Amino acid sequence: MAGFRRGHRHEASSISSLFAGLTRSPAPSAPAYTEVPARLSSNSKEDELPSPPQTPSKTGARSKKKEPWQFTALIICVCISGVIYLCVQAISGFASVESSTQPIQEPVEDGVEEEVVLGKYDTSHWLRGGPTLSFRDNLLPGVKYITSWPCAGWTNDVMALVHMIYLAQLTERVPILPAFAPSHLSQSAGHIPFGDVFDLRRLSEEIHMPILEWRDVKQPNSTVVEDIGCWSAWIGGGQSNGRPRDSYLPAALGLDISYTPTPYSMKVFGEGDSHLLYGRLMQLGFPSGRREALQQNSPIPAPQSGAVLEPDAHLMCFDYLYYTSLDRNFEWSYDWSPQWRLVGKHMRWAPALQAVSEEYLRKHFGSDEEVPKFISVHARRGDFHQYCPDGSSNCLPSIEQFQQRVEEVRHEIFRKDGLYVEHVLVMSDETDPAWWQEVRDNGWGWIDHERERTAEKYGAWYVPLLDAVFQSAGAGFIGTESSTMSLVAALRVQDWHGGPITYLTWRGP
């Protein structure tokens, strides 16, 4: 009120002087005074009130007969004060109603809100239109793109594409994801699109960037073969004798590629390790870095046409990005891994795949509604025995170690959540019936894909994919040391569900 009173000093003085001459005359009771609410204080004259009238002094009670003009002035002042008071109350009430009223929202039709959320990340904004016979006909001139075609086992391919998306973030390019090639399955399994495995729409929203698939860009049945220049991180990492990484994908996409090795200076450790640095690879996406790299290495002729092409600047492409790091090799094992934190953990399962997995789990546990809590286990054994010193399976984790790890995880879940998790679901490539009998004897279970006819119903890809979803759904997880499939499953359980994780180790507990 101090500021209010200072701002009205002149008006208060004039009105006070008007009432000063009335102090000797009897007057009606003084009108009540209501202070102006703070939220209505402003510089507008419409929101102002004069200072309150002073109560007449009792010393003038026996005064002379009041003059008519004085009585008239008093009535006028009282009326003015009353009118102003009522105006202020009306304004105050209006402001209160206005501040408490919520804006009316128009009803949103189904699908409209989803389109608004997608907004600028929708694929239609980043291509000329639907898939074309030639990929170049569909790329926008003002947009930079990046792609790769890994082929080294499904989990490793997932990790390699995570690396590619992370590199897309660093270079501000739009990633174009290929389908997964059946490098660990029969060729009859065919290729499965990335978006049939992972929820691309959710991924795009969560990492705030558009993501395309090759099926968005080029027609899958196109017979057009196109030349393109790409970078070979495989040669640059020293993995081969001057040959790029083999993959089924370029031929499937109708691409004849002329590769240029990445410079040796991009390696993390030099000889003896294949990892390349993101900070160096990132430079290839910009004119100065590309120019400097081309001064060190020359393109290799494309296998079909023999064309010698420098790496494409519009669509930057690499043969294989599994061995890429920010600071050191195999960074997924560290809790600070940017590849996992910024990309990988946002790759949730595609809704259709998730629905099938839940159907399987409900059937396995005999539940018609919610899937009960369980501990998931990935025991990789089938090909690991070849790394034992004597070539046998003696160095693989024993069933006793298995029992110990289950109790450790079970205890940690109980300590953290107060829940006793009874069910244990095992996924393994072990083929020895005696080992599986030990699993059964311990009260643990597994889902038999042959008995469920998974490949017949959904295709060969769904066997490893469903196992990966089962692993990620555990309230806790037990993996196998040195397995990338176990590593990624452990990260999912840890970050998606807050579950405890541990590993089966070789050569005893």
Task: List domains and CATH numbers for the chain.
Answer: 2-100 (no CATH), 118-346 (3.40.50), 351-504 (3.40.50.11350)
Structure confidence at residue 105 (pLDDT): 34
255 CA to centre of own chain: 31
Tokens of 24: 């000797």
Read out DSSP for 323-374?
A: SEESSSS-GGGSTT-HHHHHTGGG-PBPHHHHHHHHHHHHHHHT-SSSPPPE
**CA dist., res. 132 & res. 492, Å (int):** 36
Q: Residue 104 has what DSSP assignment?
A: P
Spatial CA neighbour of 156 closest among 490, 487, 379? 487
Whose structure tokens read 């004798």? 241
Q: Which of 165, 155, 202 is nearest to 489 (CA)?
A: 155
473 is written with which tokens?
């759904």
Beta strand pairing call for 145-148 and 374-379? unpaired
DSSP state of 313: S
Tens digit of each residue's pLDDT (9 = 90 or more) over 212-254: 999 999 999 999 999 999 999 999 998 777 899 999 999 999 9
Among the residue ranges 160-174, 235-249, 289-303, 337-351, the one predicted with the least confidence is: 235-249
- The string of pLDDT tens digits covering residues 102-140 is 332 333 444 445 555 557 899 899 999 999 999 999 999
The stretches of 218-350 forming alpha helices (DSSP H) are: 233-236, 249-252, 278-283, 287-294, 338-342
Bridge partners, 259 (sequence order)? 230
In this prediction the pTM is: 0.77
Computed over every residue of the chain, the mean pLDDT equals 83
State pLDDT tens for residues 306-365.
999 999 999 999 999 999 999 999 999 999 999 999 999 999 999 999 999 999 999 999
Residues 8-25: what's their mean pLDDT? 37
Report the amino acid identity of residue 23: T
Buried b (16+ CB within 10 A) or exposed e, 221-251: eeeeebbbbbbbbbbbbbbeeeebbebbbbe
* pLDDT confidence bin for 408, thresholds 50/70/90: very high
Is the per-residue pLDDT at 90 higher than 50?
A: no
What is the DSSP-derived secondary structure letter of residue 218?
A: B
Determine if residue 150 is left, alpha or beta; phi over 0 gives left, psi from -120 to 50 gives alpha, anything else beta.
Answer: beta
Contact 289, 266 (CB under 8 A): no
pLDDT at 241: 75
Three-state DSSP class for residue 71: helix
At residue 418, does pLDDT exceed 60? yes
Q: Which helix (H) or strand (E) holds 196?
A: helix 194-197
User: What pLDDT, on the 0 to 100 scale, is given for residue 85?
Assistant: 54
Return d(Cα 96, Cα 98) in angstroms, integer.
5
Q: Measured at the alpha carbon of residue 332, what is the angle toward residues 329 and 336, in degrees to the nearest 5? A: 100
Retrieve residue 123's tokens.
């694929």
pLDDT for 323 = 96
Residue 391: band (very low, low, confident or very high) from pLDDT cuts 50, 70, 90: low
Predicted local confidence at residue 89, as pLDDT:
52
Higher pLDDT, 370 or 88: 370
